[in-house]
């Protein structure tokens, strides 16, 4: 099971932290981001899923995303692909599912409709040119944006009016 995958090398936090310091240490907003990243790498994690969830929570906070994270393993939902997604959404009482373009391609849209769940594929495109030069905007990670924008990171997700 994916939630049982453990680390093969216990030195990964130190290695990753040093890499981030080397890559981002001179960035304008590194000073506002570094303490939270350092604390993240100092926390103990049991397995890969735990550190993955913690990193998502860290980035949610950085970008002021306020939503609950529910681990599928805590639910009774079963199935594969579209059936599993629908089972999770039904168990959670969802009426709308935000999907990426690729993920939406394998969903059974008709079955979702029958179950009263709308599939939405957002077309929002953040202004990444604020983060990197225009010629490099296809390669912006959430970490790049956070380090570049610091405390202003949440503004990247705002829809222009």
**pLDDT tens track for 78-87:** 999 999 999 9
SS3 assignment, position 118? strand
What is the number of H-type helices and E-type strands within the chain?
Answer: 7, 2
The residues near 45 (Cβ < 8 Å, ≥ 6 apart) are: 7, 51, 54
Mean pLDDT over each residue of the chain, to the nearest integer = 90
Please give the DSSP secondary-structure letter assigned to residue 74: G
CA angle (31 as vertex; 10, 154 as ends), nearest 5: 95
Residue 109 contacts residue 117 (beta carbons within 8 Å): no
Cα–Cα distance for residue pair 52/12, rounded to 1 Å: 13
SS3 assignment, position 145? helix
Token readout for 144 is 């790049």
pLDDT tens string 91-144: 999 999 999 989 999 999 999 999 999 999 987 666 666 666 545 556 678 998
Whether pLDDT at 150 is above 70 = yes
Cα–Cα distance for residue pair 68/88, rounded to 1 Å: 14
Cα–Cα distance for residue pair 20/48, rounded to 1 Å: 19
Mean pLDDT of 36-64: 96
Mean pLDDT of 6-31: 95
How many other CB atoms are there within 10 angstroms of residue 104's CB atom? 16
Confidence of residue 74 (pLDDT cuts 50, 70, 90): very high
Confidence of residue 146 (pLDDT cuts 50, 70, 90): very high
Mean pLDDT of 64-72: 93
Q: What is the pLDDT of residue 122?
A: 85
Backbone angles phi, psi at 79, to 5 degrees: 120, -175
Q: What is the pLDDT of residue 156?
A: 84
Token readout for 102 is 């690729």
Q: What is the pLDDT of residue 105?
A: 94
């Amino acid at each position: 099971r994916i939630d049982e995958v453990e680390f093969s090398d216990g030195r990964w936090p130190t290695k990753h932290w040093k890499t981030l310091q080397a890559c981002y240490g001179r960035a304008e907003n590194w000073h506002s981001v570094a303490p939270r990243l350092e604390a993240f790498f100092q926390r103990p994690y049991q397995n890969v899923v735990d550190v993955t969830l913690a990193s998502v929570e860290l980035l949610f906070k950085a970008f002021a995303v306020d939503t609950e994270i529910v681990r599928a393993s805590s639910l009774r939902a079963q199935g594969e692909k579209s059936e599993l997604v629908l089972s999770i959404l039904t168990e959670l009482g969802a009426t709308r599912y935000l999907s990426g373009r690729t993920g939406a391609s394998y969903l059974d849209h008709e079955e979702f409709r029958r179950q009263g769940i709308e599939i939405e594929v957002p077309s929002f495109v953040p202004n990444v040119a604020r983060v990197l030069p225009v010629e490099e905007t296809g390669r912006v990670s959430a970490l790049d944006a956070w380090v570049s924008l610091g405390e202003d990171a949440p503004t990247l997700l705002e829809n222009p009016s």
